[in-house]
Amino acid sequence: MATPLAFDRLVHSDWSIAADKRWSAVAIRSRTGWLVDRLDHTGEPARFLDELFDRSRRTLAGFDFPIGLPALCPEKAGLEFHQLLLSPLSQRARRFLTPVETLFDVSPNQPFYCKHPKGGRHCHLFQRLGCARIEDLLRECDKKTENRNRAESIFWTVGARQVGKAALSGWQDILIPAMARTARLWPFDGPLASLDSNILTLAETYPAEAYHQIGLRRPVGKRSQQGRFVACHGMLEWASGHRVSFAAGIKRSMLNGFGAGGEGEDPFDAVAGLCGMIEVVDGRRAEAPKLTTRIRHQEGWILGQIELPSKKPSIVPSSLAASLSPHGEEARERRLEP
């Protein structure tokens, strides 16, 4: 077990491009452990940032949007991730952060797009960004491991797994203004042990990774009240053994599976991600495996994820993607994910 870190407030935000789907859970360190005393809508970003910069606390705030860029970006666009955050008004950064109209308009200098055109496929994204396979558009922490499938590329903006729009929102509404106010960013600014004396440190989280970290049974059916009810009982059992308590109102919501509506998924993920952060800060789980220089300075990592990518490829051979025309409708494209 590692030495516990000195953070005395943890905040986990389940982020979305839709403001009404953003929920945040807050835990305060006490003499007896952690008290999860707040769970509510995140609110307007500027006000939320003001709350995070509480000089009486040393806060670690986790967000479930990608924080970092694939190694392809400095190679193709000449842009480092830290450079993007610290100099967002430079011509190169402004262009990079401005989405083009459709998938067929993207380029290494403008890899994000607004609308997904009919017939748009992964191979079109590969061709426009100068690569031949999905792995080139993934960070190491996004790739398939022995226990989970790969994530979607940050530049793919359609389907239930897309994360690009939320990432742009999070970077512009949270990361860039927070960095301008001297927030620190894990792992780019160093390991957590070197950051826990700062007023505010930001990190990337992933609630589905947190399920595994606190021992919830799989699959976690978070989209149904019954699934959340079962998972919340597992969460409360974990908490009872690790000096974590919940405010009465939050505990009632958990015992009710966060209600019958589909909107219960968002506060559930906010709490689950917070519990995963507690595991790391209390020293029961490593913050990351040994990270390469490229990961620490460009790609970033997911807090508490200790699995490295499996060696098996998660996509079709690159020769297949290269063989497809930019606007073709070959049946073989159906093999591409998603």
Residue 181 lies in a domain: yes
Residue 294 lies in a domain: no
Residue 104 lies in a domain: no
Task: Write down the residue that tokens 């000449």 correspond to.
Answer: 78
Tell me: pLDDT of 325 over 50. no
Tokens of residue 315, six digits: 């996509």
Task: Write down the residue that tokens 């009404």 correspond to.
Answer: 20
Tokens of residue 301, six digits: 């990592």
Average of pLDDT values for 80-90?
Answer: 91
The number of distinct structural domains making up the chain is 1
Residue 44 lies in a domain: yes
Domain that holds residue 39: 9-67+171-281
Average of pLDDT values for 193-212?
Answer: 95
Residue 225 lies in a domain: yes
Q: Between the CA of residue 268 and those of 40, 264, 296, 308, what are the distances in Å?
A: 11, 6, 30, 26
Highest mean pLDDT among 210-219, 256-265, 322-331: 256-265
So what's the pLDDT on residue 328? Answer: 34
So what's the pLDDT on residue 34? Answer: 98
- C-alpha 295/C-alpha 85 separation (Å) is 16
Tokens of residue 337, six digits: 């994910």
Average of pLDDT values for 192-207?
Answer: 97
Tell me: pLDDT of 246 over 90. yes
Residue 105 lies in a domain: no
State the Cα angle at 34 between 28 and 35, rounded to 5°: 65
So what's the pLDDT on residue 312? Answer: 60
The answer to which of 86-95, 202-211, 298-307, 320-329 has the lowest mean pLDDT is 320-329
Residue 241 lies in a domain: yes
So what's the pLDDT on residue 256? Answer: 97
- C-alpha 65/C-alpha 38 separation (Å) is 21
Residue 3 lies in a domain: no
- C-alpha 81/C-alpha 266 separation (Å) is 28
- C-alpha 338/C-alpha 321 separation (Å) is 14
- Residue 79: pLDDT band with limits 50, 70, 90: confident
The answer to whether 106 and 128 have CB atoms below 8 angstroms apart is: yes
